[in-house]
Structure 1
């Protein structure tokens, strides 16, 4: 391979690795739920996540209404902007139609 091809391949691999670490994480969302939300909600993360299907959670998130929906499910909850993507990934991962059950 030429030096240019090797450089391009290395750049592509580097971008793939960096983009993976920059994305939201269901496990981080579970930790946020346990620390910041569970007391306000009064029930487990499994019950929170199963309030909607994966498609419903996706529609809510795409409409920009995830924080409002979380507040409707857990009255009095004010979800910070920086937590929304991780908590969304948690809710989507463990939605009612996913077949997954979180350990919280």
Structure 2
């Protein structure tokens, strides 16, 4: 292998690792719901996620109103910005039209 090919492969591998760790995580969102949101909401994560379809969750997140919608569903909830992407991934994964059911 040439030196240039080795550098290109290393850069591609590095980029793959960085992009994976920077993305949100469904399981992390589930844990955040269980620890930070369930007591405020008073119901399971499955009930929270099924309040909307996947398309509706996408529109809400795209409009930048995910935290507001979560507060409407769970009165008194103030979702920190650092949790929004993970909780969104959780809600999107287990939305009413997804066919998936979380274990929380």
Tell me which interval the TM-score lies in, with the shorter structure as reference length: over 0.9
Give 1:46's aligned residue: 46
Q: How do 1:55-74 and structure 2 match up within 5 A?
A: 55-74=55-74
Instruction: Could you tell me which runs of 5 or more consecutive residues in structure 2 were left unpaired when the two chains were aligned.
Output: none
Q: Which residue of 2 aligns with 1:13?
A: 13
Provide the residue aligned with 1:100 in structure 2.
100
TM-score, normalised to structure 1's length?
A: 0.97
CA offsets per residue over residues 19-70 of structure 1, 9 Å max, x none?
Answer: 1111110100000000110011010000000001111101100100000000
Match of 1:86 in 2: 86
C-alpha displacement of 1:13: 1.3
Quote the Cα distance in structure 1 between the aligned partners of 2:14 and 2:35: 33
Q: TM-score with structure 2 length normalisation?
A: 0.97
List structure 1 segments (4+ residues) > 2 angstroms apart after TM superposition.
none
Computed over aligned residues only, the root mean square deviation of the Cα atoms, in angstroms, reads: 0.7
Distance in 2 (alpha carbons) for counterparts of 1:78 and 1:59:
20
Please give the per-residue CA displacement for 1:73-104, whole angstroms capped at 9, x wherever unaligned: 00111111111011001000111111110000
Report SS of the residue matched to 2:4.
helix
